[in-house]
Structure 1
């Protein structure tokens, strides 16, 4: 495992990018599954990210997903997997996040919370961040998102997919993230992981018939042994939320208290 962590450090020299679909993921078709808790985030410039419901009208996502000077909306899918579009009326970005940097090189915390114009109904299931725990080396996690199946198939975005990965442990370069990879390929060759459109999507731990929210996807890389420059199929970098619960609670409380005003905290 030590050798694998060395490879993770070496991967910072590879081409990496914001994790903007779940590569090799299974399409989520269960109306009682993750579609209740995972949403996509779109802006008026055509950019796509993913996010996790943490209240009926609040979404936790990656901060770099909401830095464009654009209008934003959340898209949730109902039990029939039909999209419901809701405008975002306020947001809170972690105060240490540095706008204008890449997710991998920025030194702050890549988290943001969005407030929706109206709450989603009872057919949706918010995830409680306060139940998050730590993810140890070797633990299995689930990632979910609305991104593409591969970088060359951009038309495959906006479908919810999920897959299981394994943790290699924490990595600290400019900031602190957790690295998760395909258990079989271990990022040496292209395998399952986050891709274009999955930034801001949840990292989950299975708990019986449900899931616990443990982190948010920040960036991804290509595999070590690849002939093409890629930001998919290798490492998936996660911002673990257990380390930032105080900010999440405070920002959520402040956003809930707002009366529709646009805010950045």
Structure 2
């Protein structure tokens, strides 16, 4: 995400109830307060890579009735400098141990929102068209693995890492302040760090109200656009997204499904007190997203 230092790219670590181990202390890897995601609990998340190196996240979305998609949602600031040589990697968990489920497809085209403003970070959203479709599961937003540890459930790693699209919210849908959301990514594990994580990390953060979010960033000289931006984080800080998590998903559980309400966009630092992460509010852009899908996707 944009962090100011600069503000581009939060540390998307997602997956709240998505699969947090019951004993979070045992084997938990800190990432601005996060833990390792359970393999397969984020089947829609993708890694944007250039030259084999991760630099941003994204989410696969369904484009029709077929069991495949060639469309990814991400942040505009991830591709504002071009998409030549950018590859989308789906079905990944640990980059140091790739599995047979991992698939890499080059980006054929990237379309950023026409009103994206890199100075204010407004309308920080882009649609990526892949060179070829990626096979996905038959539903959206329902991971193949249990959301919480279940000793009676045995799922092979390949089955767990099956690829799936995330669900989209209703047009204009808004989240109540305090709603718990989950973020995930392979970004930096601390502000000022140098290396991104090889493991997919996640963290839960509460939604911050528009008024409180605007007040938080007023001191930084940053204007928050309530209708198109979403805030999430704790007043005391400590849990957040960071550089390398930009473009990744902020999801909220609705019944058995997870819905993409936010795209990791920007923040000041990573996990600082009083400065929650800022996300692009997906529900405000659905007509534009659907129009781009109709114009770009070859899946019918």
TM-score, normalised relative to structure 1: 0.75
Q: How does 1:132-147 map to 2 (within 5 A)?
A: 133-147=173-187
The equivalent residue for 2:48 is 41
Q: Does 1:59 align with 2:78?
A: no
The 2-side partners of 1:208 and 1:30 are apart by 21
The 2-side partners of 1:115 and 1:245 are apart by 17
Indicate the structure with greater strand content.
1
The 1-side partners of 2:38 and 2:253 are apart by 18
The 2-side partners of 1:131 and 1:53 are apart by 17
The equivalent residue for 1:261 is none
Give the conservation status (yes or no) of the 8 Å contact 1:136–1:169: yes
Give the conservation status (yes or no) of the 8 Å contact 2:56–2:247: yes
Gaps in structure 1 of 5+ consecutive residues: 1-13, 222-230, 259-265
TM-score, normalised relative to structure 2: 0.67
The 2-side partners of 1:90 and 1:51 are apart by 14
**Residues 58-117 of structure 1 deviation map (CA, whole Å, 9 limit, x = unaligned):** 11010000012442111112588534321000122111013xx34xx24x4000010112
Q: Does 1:28 align with 2:66?
A: no
Q: Does 1:200 align with 2:260?
A: no
The equivalent residue for 1:90 is 109
Give the conservation status (yes or no) of the 8 Å contact 2:169–2:259: no
Which stretches of structure 1, 4 residues or more, deviate above 4 A after TM superposition? 44-47, 78-81
The 2-side partners of 1:212 and 1:109 are apart by 19
The 2-side partners of 1:174 and 1:43 are apart by 31
SS of residue in 2 equivalent to 1:118: strand
The 1-side partners of 2:183 and 2:280 are apart by 12
Equivalent position to 1:125, from 164, 173, 184: 164
Gaps in structure 2 of 5+ consecutive residues: 14-31, 63-68, 137-161, 215-222
The 1-side partners of 2:109 and 2:79 are apart by 11
The equivalent residue for 1:239 is 280
Taking a change above 3 Å as real, the CA distance of residues 29 and 178 of structure 1, as seen in their structure-2 partners, is same
Q: Does 1:17 align with 2:7?
A: yes
CA RMSD of aligned residues (A): 2.5
The 2-side partners of 1:30 and 1:45 are apart by 21
Q: Across the two proteins, how many residue pairs are aligned to each other?
A: 224
Taking a change above 3 Å as real, the CA distance of residues 143 and 251 of structure 1, as seen in their structure-2 partners, is same
SS of residue in 2 equivalent to 1:254: helix
